[in-house]
Amino acid sequence: MKYALLFPGQGSQTVGMGRELCEKSPAARAVFDEADAALGFSLSDIIFNGPEDKLVLTAYTQPAILTMSIAVLRALEEKGIKPAPAFVAGHSLGEYTALVASGVLSLADGVRLVHKRGSFMQEAVPQGVGAMAAILGLEADSVRAVCEEAAQGEVCEPANFNTPVQTVISGHARAVERAVALASERGAKRSVMLKVSAPFHCSLMRPVADKLAVEMDKCSWSAGSAPLIANVSADPVTDVKAIRDGLYAQTYSPVRWVESIERMAAEGVEGFIELGAGKVLSGMVKKIARKASVLNIETFADLDKFVPFAEQKTEA
């Protein structure tokens, strides 16, 4: 079966994630140790023991989720399983994990880069100035129209196109609140203000991109083992410059997740394997590509599911 590897973004973290995996897999433990060494502090202690209010800080959450996903991948490899995906993709932060998984970035460069990314995002907009909200039950075009009407000279933009009827919006807090009220008037089933530390993936994040570009220059970049489906374009990219340009723009541009999954399905992908914490992406895929097979691998026991899933026979 032609399959893709998917990597989750911010919000999938839980205190204690990966602890059991590390106890049973030396390769997974080595990933956490390498991340600690690269960052110069014990990220693994924050992940395994919390407190939660520290783990949810963006500067720690981002490297934590990346580390967890790569630990799962290395544990698979330790069992003699060498994933050969047609594509790799990740949701927002997960795009960086996908690049580490495919060898474009080293683990050390990856965790340092997303730690900086998280710090820059946290600092970009004063607390309370920005906000994000999830709009459920409206199609993307309707959400775009709501954002334009609610902006009134402020920033209010789609940030994540997660499913055909779930879009996250981002911008100035008052504008996002106006959009939430408008969306309800236009027939949204639910509109929920999100507990986030910054308004991600909107033009308020533009200064972050320039700071991130400086940090990207400090990393070593290589050709990847599989094409990346980029968040900003939903197209496959392999060229390092194109990948870096996409990461730069991704900072202040929406995550085109619906189109990304649709593109992979159009390219013949029949299975999607989510590596890491939670099942958020698996749930999204089921609402976008309904005929696709979906698997999440998070725990040590889950590792044994990979081969039977990937070797499924598919109809010609």
| Rounded CA Rg of the chain | 19
- Identify the active-site residue in 25, 92, 233, 253: 92
Would you tell me how many other CB atoms lie within 10 Å of the CB of residue 284? 22
Adjacent-strand bridge partners of 254:
none
Would you tell me how many other CB atoms lie within 10 Å of the CB of residue 36? 19
Q: Answer for the pair 59, 115: CB distance below 8 angstroms, yes or no.
A: yes
- For the chain, the first-to-last Cα distance in angstroms comes to 11
Distance CA 159, CA 5 (A): 22
Distance CA 138, CA 4 (A): 28
> In the annotation, is 92 catalytic?
yes
Find all residues with CB under 8 Å of 293, minimum gap 6, and list them.
1, 270, 271, 272, 309, 312
Question: HSE (CB half, 13 Å, CA atoms) of 218?
Answer: 13
Question: Looking at residue 227, what DSSP letter applies?
Answer: -
- Identify the active-site residue in 91, 115, 172, 201: 201
CA distances from 167 to 76, 132, 175, 204, 287 (A): 33, 10, 16, 18, 13
Find all residues with CB under 8 Å of 146, minimum gap 6, and list them.
135, 138, 169, 179, 182, 183, 186
Active-site residue list: 92, 201
